[in-house]
């Protein structure tokens, strides 16, 4: 909402919007006047951009709806007094100053950005307006819920939480707990959406059950959770990661890898999907080496081929000794094959593990590639060089 005022009054407007109040004061004002708070977190005695931040802040007059919002400054000093250390802090701990938080009149967060530049502050007005509307919408839903009960109330409370960014909604514990009370079975998963933690899921629900050999119970848990419509993409993908873990521990790697592929299908663009793709490749793809050495990251937990381009050292038929000379740790090797294109020039398949192999190539054409099954041991510290000598 823009303010259109005669020029003569502009100076008055500017004066009203002069300095932001300290955060502790803003809390009192917000409660009293039922206003939202925009707090900028800075560090006046250590943050190089602190001066620029305050200047940018002070020049926001034209765009911010100052009748509905309290502008506050939280100054986290390097040399803070005892009183300053004890003063109330904004709800979200800051890791990257400067930061800005938009809070409702009860100091609950709806927006957070950190590591901001002074120039970003200048564009804060529209964001403040957007989140003011969000707060209004949310409060409207929650006020309506007060007059309802059971499923109706549940839906309204959940919608109110959904109106906010998920990370912010997690701060609203009373509303989240209300969902649990209104529907202990959490049919839609709205409660789970705001309480799901990957660590307790994977450690307690999955690994805990695996340890107790309760595989079917773990599988049912995952399948029941997947039916809940409210869960986020990340949470669904996390459930599939749990299924992967379960099936892998049951010794069913093909099924486990299918679960990872299903994870990817949920949303291939997420980082989690990228991680799942890497895991699939990790467990299935041969490891193509860039030179005649291998390092810790090339080890695998199961027998997987390593591929070495040996064309620089195998140039003619003959008998060759291939040595895997370790610099550290231990990688197991077996079954060397020399290939050229699709042709296997020589193949050993006796499954005998060794660091040294002798192969005889009677005909050599094309670009020879050494394929060798390998498996990491221990902490996968195995690394070393491949030394090929013609006998």
Partner 1 sequence: MRMERILLSGALMLSLGMLSVTQLAEAKLPTEVSSAIARSDFSQVQQKLTELIQSGIQGKTLNQIIQDKELMKLITASEVIQLTGASQLDELVKSKKSYGAFLNTFLDDVAWMQLYLQAGLIPHDNAVSLRVLGDIWQAHGDDPDFRKYLSLATGTAAAWGAGNFAPKLQNAEKSLTSGNKSNPVWRYKFFRDAHKANKLHKNFINLKPWEIRFVSGGVWDDASLKYTQNTINIPPRRYGDACWKAEYCGTSEFGDTIQGPLFYVAWSDSMGQAQKTVEHGGVCGALSHVGHTAAAARGIPSYPVGQPGHCAYGFRPERGKWLGGFGGPDGGPHNYIFPGKAPTCINLMEEAFKNDAKVAKGYEYATVASVLARLDNVKLADEAWLVAIKTLPHNMFIQQDYQKFAKANNLLNGEQWYDYAQNLIRQYNGHGFAVIEVLKPVMPDVLDQCNDAQKLQLFASLQQALANTPTSWAEDITPILSDQSAQLSSNKNAEKYLELLLNTHMNAGDGSSFGKVLEWSINEYVNAGKGDVFSKAFSKAVAKGGKSTGSNDAQHEKRMSEAYGKAIVAAENARSLSAVRSVSEAAKAYQRKEYNAPAKSELDLPKGKLVSDKGYLRLSTSSGWDSPCDHLNVLTLGGGAFHTDNEEKPSVIVELPEGVDVSGVLVVKNHGNEWRTKKMKMSRSVDGATWFDIAETNDMPKQWKVEFKDKTPAKWIKIESLPNEKTPLHLNRILIFAK
Is residue 73 involved in binding partner 1 (CB under 8 A)? no
Place of tokens 């707990």: 177
- For the segment 22-51, give every residue that binds partner 1 (CB under 8 A): 43, 46-49
Is residue 20 involved in binding partner 1 (CB under 8 A)? no
Single out the residue of 17, 22, 66, 77 in contact with partner 1 (rule: CB under 8 A): 77
Pattern of binders to partner 1 over 347-376, x per CB under 8 A? Answer: -----------------------------x
Two tokens, residue 131: 């989140």
Provide the terminal-to-terminal Cα distance of the chain, rounded to the nearest Å: 86
Two tokens, residue 143: 């006020």
Is residue 53 involved in binding partner 1 (CB under 8 A)? no
Is residue 245 involved in binding partner 1 (CB under 8 A)? yes
Are 129 and 123 within 8 A, CB to CB?
no
Are 266 and 240 within 8 A, CB to CB?
yes
* Phi, psi dihedral angles at 74 (to 5 degrees): -110, 115
CB of 46 or CB of 303, closer to partner 1 = 46
From the centroid of its chain, how far is CA 339? 41
**Rounded CA gap, 220 and 226, in Å?**
10
Residue 153 beta carbon to partner 1: minimum distance, rounded to whole angstroms: 29
Residue 113 beta carbon to partner 1: minimum distance, rounded to whole angstroms: 13
- For the segment 185-224, give every residue that binds partner 1 (CB under 8 A): 198-199, 202-203, 206-207
CB of 47 or CB of 161, closer to partner 1 = 47
**Rounded CA gap, 72 and 274, in Å?**
41
CB of 11 or CB of 81, closer to partner 1 = 81
Residue 372 beta carbon to partner 1: minimum distance, rounded to whole angstroms: 20
CB of 12 or CB of 115, closer to partner 1 = 115
Single out the residue of 20, 109, 189, 242 in contact with partner 1 (rule: CB under 8 A): 242
Single out the residue of 57, 64, 97, 221 in contact with partner 1 (rule: CB under 8 A): 97
CB of 12 or CB of 301, closer to partner 1 = 301
Is residue 248 involved in binding partner 1 (CB under 8 A)? yes
| Angle made by CA atoms 194, 97, 95, in degrees to the nearest 5 | 45
Is residue 4 involved in binding partner 1 (CB under 8 A)? no
Is residue 301 involved in binding partner 1 (CB under 8 A)? yes
**Rounded CA gap, 279 and 264, in Å?**
11
Residue 38 bridge partners (DSSP): 71, 102
**Rounded CA gap, 37 and 28, in Å?**
11
From the centroid of its chain, how far is CA 46? 30
Are 309 and 367 within 8 A, CB to CB?
yes
CB of 44 or CB of 340, closer to partner 1 = 44
Pattern of binders to partner 1 over 251-290, x per CB under 8 A? Answer: --------------------xx-xxx-xx--x-------x
Is residue 88 involved in binding partner 1 (CB under 8 A)? no
**Rounded CA gap, 25 and 256, in Å?**
55
Is residue 390 involved in binding partner 1 (CB under 8 A)? no
Residue 328 bridge partners (DSSP): 383
**Rounded CA gap, 250 and 210, in Å?**
9
**Rounded CA gap, 304 and 287, in Å?**
8
Are 141 and 169 within 8 A, CB to CB?
no
At a CB cut-off of 8 Å and minimum separation 6, what does 28 contact? Answer: none
Is residue 128 involved in binding partner 1 (CB under 8 A)? no
Single out the residue of 32, 81, 95, 174 in contact with partner 1 (rule: CB under 8 A): 95
Residue 80 beta carbon to partner 1: minimum distance, rounded to whole angstroms: 8
> Which residues in this chain contact partner 1 in the complex, by CB under 8 A?
43, 46-49, 76-78, 80, 94-97, 115, 198-199, 202-203, 206-207, 238, 241-242, 244-245, 248-249, 271-272, 274-276, 278-279, 282, 290, 296-297, 299, 301, 376, 378-380
């Amino acid at each position: 909402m823009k303010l259109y005022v005669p020029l003569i009054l502009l100076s008055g407007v500017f004066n009203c919007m002069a300095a932001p109040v300290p955060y502790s004061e803003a809390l009192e004002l917000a409660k009293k006047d039922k206003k939202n708070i925009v707090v900028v977190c800075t560090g006046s005695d250590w943050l190089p951009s602190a001066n620029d931040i305050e200047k940018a802040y002070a020049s926001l007059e034209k765009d911010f709806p100052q009748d509905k919002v309290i502008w506050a400054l939280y100054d986290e000093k390097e040399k803070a007094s005892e009183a300053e250390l004890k003063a109330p802090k904004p709800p979200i701990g800051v890791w990257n100053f400067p930061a800005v938080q938009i809070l409702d009149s009860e100091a609950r967060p709806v927006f957070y950005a950190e590591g901001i530049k002074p120039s970003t502050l200048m564009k804060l007005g529209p964001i403040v307006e957007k989140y003011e509307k969000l707060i209004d919408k949310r409060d409207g839903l929650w006020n309506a819920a007060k007059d309802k009960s059971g499923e109706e109330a549940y839906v309204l409370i959940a919608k109110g939480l959904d109106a906010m960014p998920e990370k912010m909604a997690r701060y609203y514990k009373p509303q989240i707990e209300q969902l649990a009370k209104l529907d202990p079975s959490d049919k839609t998963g709205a409660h789970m959406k705001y309480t799901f933690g990957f660590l307790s899921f994977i450690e307690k629900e999955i690994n805990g059950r695996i340890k107790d050999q309760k595989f079917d119970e773990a599988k049912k848990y995952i399948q029941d959770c997947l039916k809940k419509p409210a869960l986020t993409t990340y949470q669904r993908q996390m459930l599939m990661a749990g299924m992967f873990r379960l099936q892998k521990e049951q010794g069913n790697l093909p099924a486990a890898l299918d679960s990872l592929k299903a994870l990817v299908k949920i949303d291939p663009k997420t980082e989690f999907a990228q991680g799942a793709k890497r895991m699939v490749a990790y467990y299935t793809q041969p490891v193509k080496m860039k030179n005649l050495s291998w390092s810790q990251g090339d080890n695998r937990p199961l027998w997987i081929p390593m591929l070495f381009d040996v064309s620089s050292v195998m140039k003619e038929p003959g008998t060759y000794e291939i040595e895997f000379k370790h610099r550290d740790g231990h990688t197991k090797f077996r079954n060397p094959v020399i290939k050229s294109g699709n042709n296997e020039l020589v193949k050993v398949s006796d499954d005998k593990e060794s660091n040294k192999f002798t192969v005889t190539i009677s005909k050599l054409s094309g670009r020879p590639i050494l394929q060798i099954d390998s498996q990491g041991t221990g902490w996968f510290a195995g690394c070393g060089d491949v030394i090929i000598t013609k006998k």
